[in-house]
């Protein structure tokens, strides 16, 4: 789903929408962690709307820009907000709740954009009724946040969905998870850029969220 006939302008608009989306995603992690007793993000100055404190040059600009220009599903990330599970009364459950806050925030933004936007749904297809800039921005908010919510729920470290795995793993499984988690990022990059078809199923999930939001 594109926002503009020009791929370069499309990429710029997507990045302009992605940055505040990932910033709010990360802040939500820190706010929930703070609510549960961990003040690490607050003490690190990460509970701020200042994008400079959150932007990752590769994850917030380069990767999403390349994907948008190529007409692929856009995803990206910001600098992870630090969370220390030792500050939680129940560390495993606390990490899961703090992790879920990010995708839930993106889902909320997608549904707000979907309700406010000039969209018409015919069958499984969503049409933009008004081709002006406000409509394109709302479309971008809808698409980007739906993609962020779905992508981040993959159970691959360091994505948020991986924080739910310890909830169902025995003690030995949690120890194994802790050992392999640092390598999850390389697995993720390989799936995205080398074995692209392995994540093709995400398109149908994102489309389901889009239809539900409109």
Distance of alpha carbon 140 from alpha carbon 114, whole angstroms: 10
Closest CA to 87 of 56, 41, 125: 41
Active site residue: 26, 93, 129, 196, which one? 26
Are 128 and 113 in contact by the 8 Å Cβ rule? The answer is no
Indicate if 93 belongs to the active site.
no
Distance of alpha carbon 130 from alpha carbon 143, whole angstroms: 16
Strands, E assignment, 9-132: 119-122, 125-128
Distance of alpha carbon 102 from alpha carbon 124, whole angstroms: 27
| Active-site residue set | 26
């Amino acid at each position: 789903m594109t926002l503009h006939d020009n791929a370069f302008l499309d990429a710029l608009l997507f990045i302009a929408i992605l940055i505040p989306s990932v910033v709010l995603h990360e802040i939500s992690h820190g706010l929930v962690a703070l609510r549960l007793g961990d003040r690490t993000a607050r003490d690190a100055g990460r509970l701020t709307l200042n994008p400079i404190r959150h932007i990752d040059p590769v994850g917030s600009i380069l990767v999403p820009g390349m994907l948008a220009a190529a007409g692929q599903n856009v995803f990206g990330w910001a600098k992870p907000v630090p969370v220390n599970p030792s500050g939680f009364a129940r560390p495993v459950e606390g990490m899961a709740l703090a992790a879920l806050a990010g995708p839930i925030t993106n889902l909320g933004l997608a549904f707000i954009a979907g309700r406010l936007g000039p969209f018409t749904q015919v069958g499984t297809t969503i049409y933009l009724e008004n081709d002006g800039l406000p409509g394109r921005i709302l479309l971008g908010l809808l698409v980007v946040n739906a993609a962020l919510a779905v992508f981040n729920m993959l159970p691959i470290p360091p994505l948020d969905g991986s924080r739910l795995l310890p909830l169902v793993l025995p003690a030995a499984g949690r120890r194994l998870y802790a050992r392999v988690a640092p390598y999850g990022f390389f697995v993720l990059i390989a799936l995205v850029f080398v074995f692209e078809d392995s994540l093709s199923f995400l398109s149908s999930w994102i489309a389901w969220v889009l239809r539900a939001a409109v």
